[in-house]
């Protein structure tokens, strides 16, 4: 595997065991029979491999991108778990049995481990625990709750990622205009500000790290223009439409970021589009969009912005910093 890990350069992700694996059976034991029965259940099933969860195909494909560099580790995934170390052993054994290149973990009995995102320079925390995700967001970290059901992993190496724009890649300032002034006021404002970039949102740092990996793929394609097949593909799927599309495109470019595709749907249901696009993960800040998409697509709710009860003043400034 690739060599040195530089936390500042690598894409570092924290994933709860609830996002990576299907924990429905053990969670039912915990809820219905209490902690001691849960601990006994995990000991008795220590060598029973956990089934893949919602984020499993996404995480596996991310980790596989490490083969693009022999000199450095491009992606690092760390287990962040509320389990204690003993009950967490089953998680780590399942990681090993599934062949996932995950060796780092933080187990904190009954406590939220997302507080360690900062020291580990994490760009994202995924969990099925909504309270943990909301608390992480309120502290200025990028975090999302996995929604829906696990889909079969076909074992491929391509990685397709889809983002909503407002409240995900960008802040929610334009959404607040829409809520206060309606569609006409929103369109007028976005047209007037078409050349003014929005502030970066919670997932912009994640996209920046993905773009770095894409640039490595660019160099491989230049060296082998007829033979190299790019693996990472990024799309924006947004309810914006013309003329508001211009500010979205200009913002992404002025942040120094890029996407491969953009779908400006003007309020059309995103679900059928995502069924055709088939991303391995889709990020959106609006619960109704996520729940519709999750019927066919592994989805993540990013509870960012006033629509989700998080005011901008509560957020750490690093989410809203603009980078050249």
* Overall residue count recorded for the chain in this entry: 324
Beta bridge partners of 87: none
Write out 8-53 in H/E/C secondary structure.
CCCEEEEECHHHHECCHHHHHHHHHHCHHHHHHHHHHCCCCCCCEC
Which residue, chain included where needed, has tokens 């989805």?
Answer: 299
Distance CA 262, CA 35 (A): 47
Question: Given the DSSP bridges, would you call strands 281-284 and 232-238 parallel, antiparallel or unpaired?
Answer: unpaired
Distance CA 10, CA 105 (A): 17
Catalytic residue among 132, 164, 172, 285: 164
Sort residue 59 into left (φ over 0), alpha (ψ -120 to 50) or beta: alpha
Which residue, chain included where needed, has tokens 């350069």?
Answer: 9
> Is 164 an active-site residue?
yes
Q: Which residues are catalytic?
A: 164
């Amino acid at each position: 595997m690739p060599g040195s890990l530089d936390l500042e350069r690598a894409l570092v992700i924290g994933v709860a065991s609830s996002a990576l694996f299907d924990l429905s059976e053990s969670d039912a034991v915990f809820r219905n029979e209490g902690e001691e029965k849960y601990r006994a259940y995990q000991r008795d099933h220590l060598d029973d491999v956990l089934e893949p969860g919602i984020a499993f195909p996404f995480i596996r494909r991310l980790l596989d991108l490490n083969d693009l560099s022999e000199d450095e580790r491009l992606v690092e995934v760390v287990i962040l778990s509320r389990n204690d170390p003993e009950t967490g052993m089953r998680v780590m054994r399942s990681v090993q049995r599934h062949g996932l290149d995950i060796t780092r973990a933080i187990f904190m009995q009954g406590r939220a481990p997302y507080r360690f995102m900062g020291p580990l320079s994490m760009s994202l925390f995924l969990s099925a625990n909504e309270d943990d995700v909301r608390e992480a967001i309120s502290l200025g970290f990028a975090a999302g709750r996995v929604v829906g059901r696990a889909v079969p992993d076909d074992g491929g190496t391509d990685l397709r990622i889809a983002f909503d724009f407002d409240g995900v890649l960008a802040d929610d300032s334009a959404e607040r205009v829409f809520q206060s002034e309606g569609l006409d006021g929103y369109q007028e404002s976005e047209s007037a500000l078409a050349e003014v970039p929005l502030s970066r949102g919670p997932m912009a740092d994640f996209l920046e790290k993905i773009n770095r990996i894409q640039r490595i793929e660019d160099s491989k394609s230049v060296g082998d223009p007829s033979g190299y097949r790019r693996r990472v593909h990024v799309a924006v799927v947004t309810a914006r439409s013309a003329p508001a599309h211009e500010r979205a495109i200009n913002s992404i470019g002025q942040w120094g970021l890029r996407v491969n595709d953009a779908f400006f749907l003007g309020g059309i249901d995103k679900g059928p589009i995502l069924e055709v696009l088939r991303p391995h993960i889709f990020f959106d800040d609006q619960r109704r969009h996520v729940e519709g998409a999750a019927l066919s697509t592994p989805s993540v709710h990013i509870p960012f912005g006033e629509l989700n009860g998080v005011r901008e003043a509560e957020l750490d400034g690093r989410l809203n910093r603009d980078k050249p």
